[in-house]
Each structure stands twice: as structure tokens, then as C-alpha cells.
Amino acid sequence: MRPFEKLQAREQKELLGLRQASATAETISQLVQEFFRLVRTRQGTQLDSWISKVEASGIAELQRFANGLQRDKAAVLAGLTLIHSNGQTEGQVTRIKLIKRMMFGRAGFALLRQRVLHAL
């Protein structure tokens, strides 16, 4: 998932070996790195181009991923272009779910509410 330049020497060597051994692995590597570049640099305008390359590649796993992106394209484009994030909200939801799982079967909503309020 890291850019090739940021891999350790051993990891670079292994990746190069895989890419040289299989044309499919080379294609997958290029497409995945390109997608991560789109995500890191917020270049949502290039998403259609990337999806076209995936469809042309014939790699079923990447095509399923691209189809999933197409189903909720508006949200994906917003995530790849806007600076706003709902990461803080998602973190709070995860925290509340953790507290809920810790008290599974012990009590009702009133205790959950108290634990959430006191956990802040």
C-alpha cells in the first residue's frame, strides 16, 4: 500500500520479483498504486479514467472493487475531492460500539448512556 519508494530494500526486491514473474501481478500493482495516488492526492476527477483501465485489465477482483465504487460514485467522488471528513464522527461511533460490546448482556440503555457520558 505504500509507494514503492517508501518500501524497505527487501520489500522492493520482493515486489519487483513478483511483478517480473507475472504480467497480471504487474498490472495489479500499477492499478493499485494509481488508485492510492488518487486517494492520497484527492484527484477524484481521474476516477473514471482509473475505472476504465480496471475494466480493460480483465482482473475480476479489481473489477468488483470498481463496480462497488460505481454504485456509490457520488460519495466516492466527494471523498476523493473534498477536504471535509467524517472521521471524527466515525471514531465516536466506534468508541460507543466498543463500550456497548463490553457491557453485552449486563444492562440496558440507561447504563450504556451513563458509561458513554462518563467515558468522555
* Per-residue pLDDT tens over the stretch 51-71: 999 999 999 999 999 999 999
* Per-residue pLDDT tens over the stretch 72-83: 999 899 888 888
- DSSP class of residue 22? -
Q: Are 116 and 99 in contact (CB under 8 A)?
A: yes
Q: Identify the residue with better confidence: 53 or 100.
A: 53
In angstroms, the Cα distances linking 75 to 8, 21, 41, 61, 71 are 34, 37, 17, 21, 9
Model-wide pTM > 0.85: no
